[in-house]
Amino acid sequence: MISHLGRYEIKSELGQGAMGIVYKAYDPLIERFVAIKCINLEALTTEKRQQFEARFYQEAKAAGHLNHPNIVTIHDLGESGDTAYIAMELMEGRELQHILDGAKRLSIEDVLDMAIQVASALSYAHQSGVVHRDIKPSNIMVLGNNHVKIVDFGIAKMATPLGLTQEGLIIGSPLYMSPEQIEGKQVDARSDIFSLGVVLYQMLTWKRAFSADTVTSLMYQIVHQAPPAPSALNSQLGEMLDAVVLKCLEKNPGARYQSARDLEKDLRVCREELLRAKMGLSEPKLRGTHFRQLKHLVTPGAIPATSVVVGGHLAMALIFVADLLTDGRNATIQMHLVYLFPLAMIAFHSGRTATVRLAVFVSLALQILVLIVETLPLYARVSLAFLFIPSDLFVVYLARVARENFLEVAKLSSHDGLTGLRNRLSFESILETELAKLGRTGGALSFAFVDLDNFRELNEAQGYMAGDRALKALSAILLESARQSHTVARIGGDEFAILMPDTDSAECEAYCQELSGIIARRLTEAAIPVATSIGYATFTEAPASISEVFLSAENAMHRVQAQHLANAGAAASSGA
């Protein structure tokens, strides 16, 4: 066993995997223990090594920016001779794979708790533009109190440049690969959702969703065969969990959950229903599986737009055939009303205006064709034509307005899950409205940028629970201190913003100084060892973009942080 990697002192071997060896090591600079994942580059040619190094740093840096309670923290990366390594937080726990290999089964409640944590981590990573590509039990660590952390974020796909054989490449992960991975297609966040579905299936049933004697047979199953419903293997599971798991395992990515956030929401509903059942409470009718399926019809994006468009056009074709088989003006009017439903569905779910125009054209063409074929008087044909055109356009208009209003309300009402504050998306919508108002009516608008200075150090020293406590405490202080006209939001991992309409620079400065004192006092009283910096900017004219507002306040916050460091250095010098 090697004794050092860079500045790290190797203490013991923690395990080996397809990508290399993991060591327990000591960092004398920070005086902490870490886990070091090593990857041997000795067998690579110069060209492959350069390719690997470029991707290695790119992926490790992307993963290193992820700051989430359920994602392992990456501290450092580097090379020592022919070994590339990643230093990450040292975790006391077991791989989920070891738990699944044991004799004791997990309770359904524990399974859902773990799956919700993994889905939450995936949702955060996907929003940050990082896809894992290798979700499997051995990449999920279970710590005390069933707290889950995902490892190897953004690193798993580095296996290809290492020159592994095809057999070596698939041994670790084929059981959990998505169909698009098997077929060598481009993968996105929905591939992670499929893999999580396979893991969830195994946790609930204690059997693998796909199992075969040969790799070829296994890959065929993953691409072409659907597994039995989980309830067929575990009678304690209900149809709601069946629906969630099987939706994750859809072969077509467009039929799966389109985001891990949606999956997390449904898993939380399943857990709530499980708890209600344990307490002997009856299930409300509106929260049943059938109602939740119906809700997809009136939620933009809940059904893949392609499925709606194709299904809508097929429905119009069937209505056209049925219309031809009927005679009489009244039947034609009734069939016209039926056309309106698929037309409205397409207009409501599709985000592309060209697609909606095509649907209107197809609908009108089919109806006009019926009028030409039907044996109706000329005046009846003309009057029906004048009825069809405005009614189709009116229904489409209403559906588009409903879609825009739904999306706007969803965007404005979205909140951060941990702190309960508005998230960056909804905050930017409000900021955009206020900037437009400033441009029309003038006046002043102020913007404050609040940052936890030593948040990362707190996480590393005391764990993510301490970091979450700090974030919740700060968000509570900001909410309590906000004035009626203020809008408070969490815009990043440890970054908060306060929008202050109709507030000039003097008022903004006075408020921020008062707020800074309140935060320092309250965090000290709560024994939360973090410091904050507040930067602010005031605008009397509408800036060119929202980015300019953020940049001005953020730069002011960085100047405050630099002053804090200078003051600390001066104090240390005078003390010496």
- Ordered alpha helix ranges (H), 206-328: 215-224, 230-233, 239-248, 260-278, 289-295, 305-324
**Number of CB atoms found within 10 A of residue 479's CB:** 13
553 within 8 A of 497, measured Cβ to Cβ: yes
φ/ψ region of 148 (left if φ > 0, alpha if ψ in -120 to 50, else beta) reads beta
Q: Which amino acid makes up residue 373?
A: V
| CA–CA dist 413, 60 (Å, integer) | 34
**Alpha-carbon span 467 to 419, nearest angstrom:** 12
Dihedral (CA of 278, 280, 281, 286) sign: positive
- 512 vs 519: CA distance, rounded Å: 10
- The DSSP result for 168-202, as a single string, is HHHHSSGGG--HHHHTT----HHHHHHHHHHHHHH
The question of whether 134 is a catalytic residue gets the answer yes
Ordered alpha helix ranges (H), 102-160? 108-127
Helix (H) or strand (E) holding 441: helix 424-441
Strands (E) located in 470-518 = 487-490, 495-501
φ/ψ region of 428 (left if φ > 0, alpha if ψ in -120 to 50, else beta) reads alpha
Q: What's the token pair of residue 535?
A: 């930067």
Distance CA 22, CA 37 (A): 4
Q: Are strands 32-40 and 148-150 parallel, antiparallel or unpaired?
A: unpaired
Q: Which is the catalytic residue, given 82, 110, 113, 134?
A: 134
What residues are annotated to the active site? 134
